[in-house]
Structure 1
Amino acid sequence: MTQQESHSLNWDDLKYFLAVARTGTLRGGADSIGANHTTLARRVEVMEERVGSRLFDRSKSGLVLTQLGEDLLPYAERVEEEMTAASRVIVGRDAVPKGTIHISLPHGLAMTSIMDDLALFSDRYPDINLNMNFTNNVVDLTRREADVSLRVANEVTEDVVGRKLVQMSQAAYCTKDYAQKVRNNGGEGLSLIGFHEPDTETTAPWIKDSCYPKAKLRHRVSDIVPLITLAASGMGMAYLACNLGDRHPGLIRAPFQKPLPYRSIWLLLHKDLKNTARVRLFVDFLAGQIKSRRNEFWVSGTVANGEG
């Protein structure tokens, strides 16, 4: 093997290198790209043998880049960008409505009528498979972490093709029994269930702007599922998107409130995939379904007595 060959790199080398550089551990890097931990460790070792120097040093916090590793990082990232761009071009030329669509969407949408839309799409297009990743993390469409992303947000600023489908409204939900405790007094004496927030006070800015500014934030959770479950167990009131809260059989809108504006549902894809047959079919179908039920997502009117 010549000296030039011994120092040569390929895309697989750089892929493993980037995975470790971004996570700081071999195990984290392996998990991030779906590789075996032992395989990743070996590939990094081989890569270091090829370049004739260490790329990572061990520290108490994990693996850190050596100077050579730091110098190599921007080149590896540019290669990654070029490879993913090439992949998008190839996929974008696919004109046959079959294959797999990778979709990212937040946990909360799993409990809405959008799941019925996905089931209907699957029934109509049996040659298209849906690979769904339910996560509250914002995926990077430019790196092909997903083909299509459903996102709940006020605005989207990335370089993607985006459709703002519907704006949602939100309201406080509780059980029928808990609703009997609610009076037209700004929520005085009532408990709210919310998400983890930086402050540790019993009130938060969003409570002051709500229909129950005197209610106390007693309980906190990390995810939408326990938020809904605890509200349905009678622990207190929880603010939910109306298209989600109205669908739960154990919850009603709490009395003496008017639904408030919430975020919008966006349907996003990378611009290079907009002419891919299966992606175009999916995006057009889902956008049409959701928009046709606009009143399900945006509701108004004051609840006066807890009848929901």
Structure 2
Amino acid sequence: MDAHRSEFGGTPHHLGRVAEVERIAHIAFGQGDIHVSETLRRGADLGQSRLAGARPIGCRLGGAARGQHQGRGQRVKSVTLPTHNNSPLDTQAPQIVAVRERWNARPCTHILRGCSIGPVDWGDLRYVLAVARAGSALRAAQQLGVNQTTVLRRLEALEAALGVPLFERRRSGHKLTPVGERVVRTAECVEREVQDLMSALDAHRRSLSGSIRLTTSESLAARLIAPCLRSFQERHPDVTVELLVADERLDLARGEADVALRASSTPQGAGVVARRLPDAPWTIYCSRAYAAERGMPRSREEIAQYDVIRMEGRMARLEGSRWLAEAAAGAPIRCRSNSLTNLVSNLKAGLGLGALPTIIGDAESDLVRCFPPPPELTSQMWLIVREEIKDHAHVRAFADHVATYIRRIVAEADSARQA
């Protein structure tokens, strides 16, 4: 007691506080033999941690630990603890928690040589839990789908980082040590937190909201987007999709639309990002009634013998339109159209032959292919997103959904045709 009086100024309040701080320092630092001394600096500038009546408290090693680390009473950490109004020290006070976290996050260096705690790989906790629950490394490995050596290596790595054994190795399996039991309790907390986080993220994905302006052609809107929107809105009912159907191309970079589905060559220009979808093969179609009455061509060379329906305007620049114009040079033109949707109607009416993407033509039961798609007659399909919104959660979810849907539809159409 006299030694404490000579160091701290001899007030009973100080002695009581020092005893309590020793207890808290033991909790904070996990050391078995720690003594606390108070430096007599008052009113120090403690930055954001400055408290009324607060004093810097220096922690010193004592006893055997002090002898092991060279030099009696070397300072190893400092923490500011409140002593205002003689209130009891709170083991969960931000100052204590912060010191404990800093202590656990950093190994001792030049002062506490020999007791360094290395960084912990939180992934190793999964292996500790598995072994604790299964009772052996072999059964844990089977449950995790990894090799037994992997489980043992991860356990040894964690034990080396912590500096204590977590399991007793027995012929019958693995039994937790007292420290191992504490690690398992912590690992279970981490597991629950991760599960809660994943549940929260899943709920967030399901509760996306916002609006998206999608532009595409009339034919692609009818064949692909309309059925795709139904399944998307079942998953994300709070996302509104505004469909801008137009054969002219809106400028996404200028904000005229957010997303575009286009059958075209590689998109050019800045301010957009593009995802390539499966190519769309084209071929020549006619109605079943026309084929029954007039027959139908079996190759490119026979097309000129039949009536054709030609495209005009922007539609005339499509791959299929240009291919048909070259193949049907000199053939009678019965109708012209600037819309693929109208072209389908004209074909079903029996007005002649026309070129369509198979993803559109095959969906019409009244139409038949005249011959398989020529290898050279394909067009690229692109899903384009305005760059500045590409990372918005609801936009990304919509783009992923559309791309997945179109790939599935194309694959199913190919499988049905091959069957």
TM-score by length of 2: 0.44
Structure 1 outlier segments of 4+, above 4 Å: 255-260, 296-302
Gaps of 5+ in 1: 1-94, 303-308
Alpha-carbon contact 1:167-1:298 (below 8 Å) kept: no
Please state if 1:206 is matched with 2:323: yes
Which of 234, 237, 241 in structure 2 is aligned with 1:123? 234
Q: Which residue of 2 aligns with 1:167?
A: 279
Which of 135, 138, 144 in structure 1 is aligned with 2:249? 138
Q: Which residue of 1 aligns with 2:352?
A: 236
Q: Which residue of 1 aligns with 2:296?
A: 182
Q: Which residue of 2 aligns with 1:112?
A: 223
Q: Deviations over 1:241-279 (max 9, x none)?
A: 100000012111125874752222211112211111110
Question: Which structure is higher in helix share?
Answer: 2
| Length, aligned pairs only | 204
The alpha-carbon distance between structure 1 residues 299 and 241, as it changes in their structure 2 partners (threshold 3 A), is farther
RCO higher in 1 or 2 (8 Å CA, sep ≥ 6)? Answer: 1
Alpha-carbon contact 2:253-2:387 (below 8 Å) kept: no
Alpha-carbon contact 2:264-2:381 (below 8 Å) kept: yes
Alpha-carbon contact 1:152-1:265 (below 8 Å) kept: yes
Report the alpha carbon displacement of residue 217 of structure 1 after superposing the two structures with TM: 3.1
Partners of 2:262 and 2:386 in 1: how far apart?
14
Q: Which residue of 1 aligns with 2:267?
A: 156
Alpha-carbon contact 2:313-2:338 (below 8 Å) kept: no
Report the alpha carbon displacement of residue 209 of structure 1 after superposing the two structures with TM: 4.7
Matched residue SS, 2:391? coil
Aligned CA RMSD, in angstroms, stands at: 3.1
Gaps of 5+ in 2: 1-204
One-letter code aligned to 2:411: N
Report the alpha carbon displacement of residue 114 of structure 1 after superposing the two structures with TM: 3.5
The alpha-carbon distance between structure 1 residues 183 and 105, as it changes in their structure 2 partners (threshold 3 A), is closer
The alpha-carbon distance between structure 1 residues 283 and 153, as it changes in their structure 2 partners (threshold 3 A), is same
Partners of 1:182 and 1:299 in 2: how far apart?
25
Alpha-carbon contact 2:277-2:403 (below 8 Å) kept: yes
Which has more radius of gyration? 2
The alpha-carbon distance between structure 1 residues 277 and 205, as it changes in their structure 2 partners (threshold 3 A), is closer
Partners of 2:330 and 2:247 in 1: how far apart?
30
Report the alpha carbon displacement of residue 232 of structure 1 after superposing the two structures with TM: 0.2
Q: Which residue of 1 aligns with 2:387?
A: 271
Report the alpha carbon displacement of residue 170 of structure 1 after superposing the two structures with TM: 0.6
Partners of 1:125 and 1:300 in 2: how far apart?
30
Partners of 1:257 and 1:101 in 2: how far apart?
35
One-letter code aligned to 1:167: D
Matched residue SS, 2:266? coil
Partners of 1:229 and 1:152 in 2: how far apart?
20
One-letter code aligned to 1:270: R
Report the alpha carbon displacement of residue 103 of structure 1 after superposing the two structures with TM: 0.8
Partners of 2:254 and 2:372 in 1: how far apart?
47
Report the alpha carbon displacement of residue 150 of structure 1 after superposing the two structures with TM: 1.0
Q: Deviations over 1:114-163 (max 9, x none)?
A: 42111110111100011110011111112211111111101211221100
- Once the two structures are superposed, the pairs formed by residues 37-116 of structure 1 within 5 Å of their partners are 97-116=208-227
Partners of 1:270 and 1:256 in 2: how far apart?
36
Q: Deviations over 1:83-139 (max 9, x none)?
A: xxxxxxxxxxxx972021111111111231442111110111100011110011111
TM-score by length of 1: 0.59
One-letter code aligned to 1:289: Y
Partners of 2:397 and 2:297 in 1: how far apart?
49
Matched residue SS, 1:112? helix
Matched residue SS, 1:118? helix
One-letter code aligned to 2:355: Y
Q: Deviations over 1:216-248 (max 9, x none)?
A: 333211212221101101010111010000001
Q: Which residue of 2 aligns with 1:281?
A: 397
Matched residue SS, 1:158? coil
Alpha-carbon contact 1:258-1:301 (below 8 Å) kept: no
* Identical aligned residues as a percent: 26
